[in-house]
Structure 1
Amino acid sequence: MSDLFWLTDKRTRRIEPCFPQSHGNPRLDEKRVLSGIIFVIRSGLRWRDAPRDYGPQKTIYSRFIRWSRLGVFNRIFAELSAKGPRPERLMIDATHLKAHQTAASLLIKGLLPGRIGRTKGGLNSKLHAVCDGHGRLLVLLLSDGQMSDYKGAALMIDALPKAKAMLGDRGYDADWFRAALIQRGITSCIPSKANRKVHTDHDWTLCRQRHRIENMFGRLKDWRRIHTRYDRCAQTFMPAIAATVIFWL
């Protein structure tokens, strides 16, 4: 059974203060349940197909839903990322996540928006991310698939930590974004678009390090329930991403 546990005792102690307090009867071991949640997200299984070694499948699913609504996973991600060293440079990018038909049915039923849009020939979501120079995630934002990169950057600009430089691709070549970075004391390293009349200079050597955020997206999409979105509500899909990041943060 120990081979199935993804979380070590050291990792569990780091995030244990973020779990809600137990009331009444003692709960199932958080390490055991959280390891089962991570296993399901990683393998892309249905919740009822989780190995019995993690405990009752109903308990794993209900704990994930309840912790998602309480913001437990988002709080753990925020605290772990805040405890890291101050980054010298930031990297920003976005990627598309394909929405499975079970998630896309939310649009047909006319319920609350689930951050699913139609682009690239199908229904998908768009994940905007900011990481440090080592590829460690700092800020996450989920939006509709058709949202442009610089609009996503506008929603994340207030959450950016202090840094010396910001690396991005041509999708973030906007005058207002460069000006907003300058106000925060951040130097932009963003190539100019082909249609820009006056091209801006940038450090090509520094820009080559942007592959680290692409590598981060590759690692994130190794988790099958993230690469293909099965959760209809953004309220439960974002905690799934946060739980993924918790494991290798």
Structure 2
Amino acid sequence: MGDLLLLSPAQMRRIEPFFPRSHGVPRVDDRRVLSGILFVIRNGLRWRDVPAAYGPHKTIYNRFIRWSRLGVFNRILAELAARGGGTDRLMIDATHLKAHRTAASLLKKGLLPRCIGRTRGGLTTKLQVVCDDRGRPLLLHLSEGQANDHRTAAAVLEELPPARHLLADRAYSSTGFREALIGKGITPCIPPHAKHRVQHSYDPLLYRQRHRIENMFARLKDWRRIHTRYDRCAHTFLSAIAFAAAFIFWINEML
């Protein structure tokens, strides 16, 4: 397959336990199809433009949609992160992802939320991520672009793994968020707003480690279908992010 992206046998062995079982007719080669999905996500291609070496583009697209609905890609990320070992420090932050006009079309139709909102930069989706101390994603959450950071963070509070500290920027400096963390036995390392009446203390040396989550966002946004959202449905977009994050930070780096 030349210079095209192709999952190695060792990489496939790491993720094969999380695939759904095949019933009836055997599936088309998992290695080739999943490599094609990663190639499309990385390069921001239309599905019909996938190189012929990966096989029919309809097969690749249908596999991505079907496994997205089953939550397979999200499960791959969650299981690999769980097997990566615990951490003493967590980091949380959010970034905006611009929604392409194809994703924003039919915005108000459908029963499921599309997680697209309007901000100063236009139509955007906000991606909130919880990382470990090495900047490897553990939890992902999508919301509308205009959503408040510490309010959307409440959606992942119950799923936070055990840790001693959580690092975050001033956007998360709210009394409710701090109290929720302390209630879970996690010490917040969050600088207070200058205008806040109560100036909470934090460890500035520990806070310097927060650049690792910013580096993580930079690496994720190198993948074009993450930097710009083309998927109308939020669950398919989140699946693309989860599969890319699993490949970049867990499948490769843990071999």
> Which residue is 1:111 aligned to?
110
1:2 positional shift: 5.2
Q: Does 1:196 align with 2:189?
A: no
Structure 1 unaligned residues grouped into runs of 5+: none
- Kindly indicate whether residue 51 of structure 2 is the aligned counterpart of residue 51 of structure 1: yes
Moved over 6 A (4+): none
SS in 1 for 2:45: coil
Q: Classify the secondary structure of the residue corresponding to 1:61.
A: helix
3-state SS of the aligned residue for 2:153? helix
**Aligned alpha-carbon RMSD (Å):** 1.1
1:15 partnered with 2:15 = yes
Amino acid paired to 1:30: D
SS at 1:159 equivalent = coil
**C-alpha deviations, 1:59-115, integer Å up to 9, x for none?**
0001000111111101111111111110110000000000000001131x5333200
Q: 1:44, 1:174 → 2: CA distance?
A: 37
Return the letter of the residue paired with 2:95: T
Q: Secondary structure at the match of 1:106?
A: coil
Deviations 1:100-147 (A, max 9, x none): 00001131x533320000012310000001001100001100000011
Q: Does residue 42 of structure 2 align to residue 30 of structure 1? A: no
Q: Does 2:88 match 1:123?
A: no
8 A contact 1:229–1:237 mirrored in 2: yes
The aligned amino acid for 1:111 is G
Equivalent position amino acid for 2:16 in 1: E
Which deviations, in whole Å up to 9, do the C-alpha atoms of 1:149-176 show, x marking residues without a partner? 1011111100100001000000000111
Q: How does the TM-score come out when normalised to structure 2?
A: 0.95
Q: Which residue is 2:98 aligned to?
A: 98
Structure-1-length-normalised TM-score: 0.97
- Counterpart of 2:18, as a letter, is C
* 1:184 aligned partner, one-letter code: K
Corresponding residue of 1:150: 150
Does the 8 Å CA contact 1:135/1:216 hold for their aligned counterparts? yes
Aligned residues of 1:5 and 1:32 also touching (Cα < 8 A): no
What is aligned with 1:163? 163
Identity across aligned pairs (percent)? 64
* 8 Å Cα contact 1:103/1:232 also seen in 2: yes
Corresponding residue for residue 133 of structure 1: 133
Question: Do 1:106 and 1:114's aligned partners in 2 also have CA atoms closer than 8 Å?
Answer: no
Contact kept in structure 2, 1:7 and 1:247, CA below 8 Å: no
- Where 1:162 maps in the other structure, the secondary structure is coil
Q: After superposing the two structures, state which structure 1 stretch, 37-46 or 194-203, moved more.
A: 194-203
Q: Which amino acid aligns with 1:55?
A: G
**Alignment length (residue pairs):** 248
| Mapped partners of 2:2, 2:65: distance in 1 | 25
1:222-241 to structure 2, matched below 5 A, reads 222-241=222-241
Matching residue of 1:175: 175
Q: Note the alpha carbon deviations across 1:200-247, whole angstroms, 9 max, x for none.
A: 111111111100000000001000000000000102111000110121
Question: Post-superposition shift, 1:16?
Answer: 0.5
Q: Tell me how far apart the structure 2 counterparts of residues 141 and 157 of structure 1 sit (CA, whole Å).
A: 11
